[in-house]
Amino acid sequence: MQNKKRHASIKANLKGVVPVDAQWGVLQEIMNGCKDYISEEASTSFHGAIRARDINKYLATSDAFAPQCIAFNDDMHSEKFAAEYQLSAFLRKYPFKGSSDSRQRSAVDGFLKAEQSCSDYNKSGYKSVLSLNPAYCMEEALPLMRSFIERVLTNSVNIEECFATSRHGPGGSLDTIGDRISAYYKWSSFPYSVTKSAVPYAKLLISSDERWLQAIKSAYHHAHPNGNHCVIDMQVIFKWAFRVVKGNKITFVPKDARKDRPIAIEPLLNMMLQLGVDGYIRTHLKTVGVNLDSQEKNQYFAYLGSCLGNVHRFSTIDLSAA
């Protein structure tokens, strides 16, 4: 009985109300703990944002003291870098009240701007790249790139190799319902979403796997019990098993306090085909010493850039809308 009362008391205490603007209070405590390590400029800027409870002012200060903006000099030490980095990152992804609409508007605007930029480049922008630097001679480089791609991937892609590496992705698709994203649901849930242009390849992919083909036939006959003793044309079964869609679906997920991140949710069979092509490309690149399945080379250059920066001037950059 005493234990039950004790547990009830603990449970009641855990239901305490979170103080208003608690996130700013926690940031202030972090600043107090870091005061011996941060610069006077950083202290003044972050204190100003905290006192004003101004997320825009905080984000502007956060940008100024982000890792890529922190000035390195002879006085720089790891504690100072870590402290200013922590302060700049602490509330960048905090979901401030009322910010969801503005985050999505910013994401939509950025997405449309990037799409327009890509469209303009594809129409004529590449011509300006060709003429940027005659010494670089892009007119000679482009044929070399094309020649490399043709040599490595061959002029005629072996579709059977693509099918061999086709698989379901780890995330959701247009067919996903709730959290049912495991391979079990992806194999067994009909109809499969697919774009019109991908239908012929999807039929070939399924037909290349006898187990999958028979499973679809069985599912069709189970859904149409009156025709169990009839021989059904495969085109009829495929029409039942496929849901033809126009394309993928663009949606937005949280990125930071400023804007959301656009993602594309793919049709299920398109994703399988895409991953098959991905596997084909990865396999053939290995024949010329390019291994996209290993991060060892990237890790080595990251080490050179981080630990031997004065000797090897390497850096990793993260471009917006790359």
In sequence order, what DSSP letters do the residues of 256-321 get, joined into one string?
A: -SS-EEEEEEPPHHHHHHHHHHHHHHHHHHGGGT--TT--HHHHHHHHHHHHSTTTS-------TT
**Between 267 and 9, the higher pLDDT residue:** 267
136 vs 283: which has the higher pLDDT: 283
210-228 average pLDDT score: 88
Kindly state the tokens that stand for 194.
């697919």
Q: What is the pLDDT of residues 132-181, one digit of tens each?
A: 665 556 667 778 888 888 888 876 778 999 999 999 999 899 999 888 99
Mean pLDDT over the full length of the chain: 84
User: What's this model's pTM, rounded to 2 decimal places?
Assistant: 0.76
Judge if the upstream peptide bond of residue 267 is cis by omega within 30 degrees of 0: no
Question: Quick one: pLDDT band at residue 216, thresholds 50, 70, 90?
Answer: very high
- Higher-pLDDT residue of 100 and 254 is 254
Q: Whole-angstrom Cα distance, residue 8 to residue 23?
A: 28
293 confidence band (pLDDT: 50, 70, 90) = very high
Q: What pLDDT score was predicted for residue 129? A: 67
Residues 277 and 75 sit within 8 Å (Cβ to Cβ): no
Beta-ladder partners of 261: 253
Q: Are strands 192-195 and 242-245 parallel, antiparallel or unpaired?
A: parallel
Q: According to the model, what pLDDT value does residue 197 have? A: 97
What average pLDDT does this structure show over 14-30?
80
Where do we find the tokens 């004065």? 310
Dist. CA 167–CA 210, nearest whole Å: 15
Total Cβ atoms within 10 A of residue 80: 17
Separation between Cα atoms, residue 100 and residue 94, nearest integer Å: 11
Of the pLDDT bands very low, low, confident and very high (cuts 50, 70, 90), residue 183 is very high
Q: How far apart are CA 256 and CA 42, in angstroms?
A: 21
Residue 133's pLDDT is 60
Q: Which of 49-53, 117-121, 139-143, 277-281 has the lowest mean pLDDT?
A: 139-143
Q: Mention every residue, 6+ apart, whose C-beta is less than 8 A from residue 98.
A: none
- Look at 149-158, 183-192, 242-251 and tell me which has the smallest mean pLDDT: 149-158
72 DSSP 8-state letter: P
- Percent of the chain at pLDDT > 90 equals 36
How confident is the model at residue 143, as a pLDDT? 82
Task: Output the pLDDT for position 320.
Answer: 74
